[in-house]
Amino acid sequence: MLTDIALIVLFALILNFLFLKIQLPGILGMIITGVILGPSLLNLIDASVIDLLREFKTVALIVILIRAGLGIKKSTLNMIGGPAIRMGFVPCVIEGVTVLILSHYILGFSIIEAGMLGFIFAAVSPAVVVPSMLALKDKGFGKNKEVPTLVLAGASVDDVFAITIFGVFTGLATGTAVNVPYLIVSVPMGIILGALIGAGLGYLLVWYFKKVHIRDTKKVIIFMIFAVAFYEFTELEAVKHYVHLAGLLGIMAIGFVILDKYPKLANRLAVKFNKVWVLAEILLFVYIGAELDISNINGQMMGVGLLILFIGLLLRSGGVWLSLIGSNLNAKEKLFCMIAYWPKATVQAAIGAVPLTLIQEGVITNSSIEAGQTILALAVLSIVVSAPLGAIGISLTGKRLLTQDVN
């Protein structure tokens, strides 16, 4: 296992360096490391290491969300509030419905099968978007209007809508009754409760850190324990049965409260988490690459899948533009936000195989195995295409479409 991890880190560092040298995002090198070393090609990573990476993926995602939260000030939140909320659901719903319609008429899926695919596609990837936005923030791009913060705040809510509506269609596929009025209430309730619980944990940590004097390294460990425990709580089926708490948003809220109430500590913790992210980033993106099974994608499926994917992204981009009407962003900044909302990876890797698994287990009886395999193949295709496309787009356009504040 240790040899596998050493091999992963070595290859990822080399490809990260090479991609940066040719002016491409380093995360692409890490994803390709996972593809090369994983089951898709050389199959050099043991299954037990893949399982370990799957668990660590959550930790890595939490680390980057903590970093994001520790960089959001109250004044910034007031500035981006309305547009961020709209970006949290408008693009997601538009893309999901678009893919639903296209897959129903082009692939011959039932409405329920098409709905599952639509809202697998509809989620933006925090794993790609958040670190990209933080990199731009660190260099001062878009700082005067807080464009990167707007994008990462919206992205943390976007997943809640996509996963919740995916769950609705999965429930319909398994014959579970769906309470529409409850659904309409539970989604915003989950977002609000997730943020409030996260804020409450932030206040608790501020109180404890002011009362008990310990090293910052131990504070990082305590912070991580709270964040991981909170995230795992939001993922419990018993909790999801009642409400889908916005765990990602709640984790950002913890950091936000610490920055607001204890800024000196927040700045020190941010430095510590930046160091943790060096390894966490490698394992997260290698895992995403290792989870991709490109053998699922055949030539015919690629053509149809690309058509559905690009039309969905086009309409999603229109949703971003609609969300930003009335904001203080100019045309270039709005265009950047549209591009920044393209990447897919985290959610698609997590739930792309769910329909196929439920069909194989006999939980879903009205769909064929071929339909489940097609949904999985298209989920993989969406990652393979949109993750590098979005990452490159963010890297290239961020420096050209956003103004840089050098102060």
What pLDDT, in 10s, does the model give residues 54-78? 888 889 989 988 998 998 888 888 8
Q: Identify the pLDDT of residue 361.
A: 87
Strand partners, 392: none
Tokens representing 150? 């707007």
Least trusted range by pLDDT, from 176-190, 191-205, 257-271, 334-348: 176-190
Measured CA to CA in angstroms, residue 402 lies from 267, 296, 357, 375 at distances of 25, 38, 43, 36
Q: Can you give the pLDDT at residue 301?
A: 75
* Per-residue model confidence (pLDDT) at position 54: 84
Q: Return the C-alpha torsion angle 335, 340, 341, 347, nearest 10.
A: 170
- Tell me, what's the pLDDT at 180? 67
What's the average model confidence in pLDDT over 379-392? 91
At 184 the pLDDT is 72
What are φ and ψ of residue 46, in 5° steps?
Answer: -65, 150
Whole-angstrom Cα distance, residue 15 to residue 282? 11
Q: Please say if the pLDDT value at position 202 is more than 90.
A: yes
CB 198 within 8 A of CB 250: yes
Predicted confidence (pLDDT) per residue in 273-305, tens digit = 999 999 999 988 998 888 877 776 777 778 899
Over residues 232-280, the pLDDT tens digits come to 999 888 887 788 788 888 999 999 999 999 999 999 999 999 999 999 9
Q: What is the pLDDT of residue 75?
A: 84
In the prediction, which pLDDT does 335 show? 97
Residue 178 has pLDDT above 70, yes or no: no
The answer on pLDDT for 182 being more than 80 is: no
- The pLDDT-based confidence of 91 (bands split at 50, 70, 90) is very high
The confidence band for 195, taking pLDDT boundaries of 50, 70 and 90, is very high
Beta strands (DSSP E) in 161-305 are none
Compute the average pLDDT of residues 22-29: 88
N-terminal to C-terminal alpha carbon distance within the chain: 46
Record the tokens describing residue 138, joined without a space: 């660190």
The mean-pLDDT minimum among 101-115, 355-369, 385-399 falls in: 355-369
Q: How high is the pLDDT of residue 251?
A: 94
Q: What is the pLDDT of residue 365?
A: 82
Q: Which residues on neighbouring strands pair with residue 404, listed in sequence order?
A: 141
Please count the residues of the chain: 407
- Cβ atoms within 10 A of the Cβ of 290, count? 25
State residue 362 phi and psi, 5-degree precision. Answer: 80, 10
pLDDT at 406 over 70: no
Between helix 26-37 and helix 2-21 the angle, nearest 10°, is 140
H-helix or E-strand spanning residue 164 = helix 147-173
Task: Please say whether the beta carbons of 182 and 156 come within 8 A.
Answer: no
Say if residue 36's pLDDT is above 80.
Answer: yes
Mean pLDDT, all residues of the chain: 90
Among 356, 387, 374, residue whose Cα is nearest residue 308: 374
**Which residues, listed in sequence order, are joined to residue 141 by a DSSP beta bridge?**
404
DSSP state string for 336-356: HHHHHT----HHHHHHTTHHH
Classify the C-alpha dihedral 114-120-123-128 as positive or negative.
negative
Which domains does the chain possess? 2-401 (1.20.1530.20)
Are 223 and 215 spatial neighbours (Cβ–Cβ below 8 Å)? Answer: no
pLDDT band with cut points at 50, 70 and 90 for residue 177: low
Q: What is the pLDDT of residue 215?
A: 94
With 0.95 as the threshold, say if the pTM is over it.
Answer: no
Q: Provide the CA 378 distance to its chain's centre, in angstroms.
A: 18
CA distance 343 to 364: 29
What burial class does residue 313 get, using C-beta atoms within 10 Å of its C-beta: 0-12 exposed, 13-18 middle, 19+ buried? buried
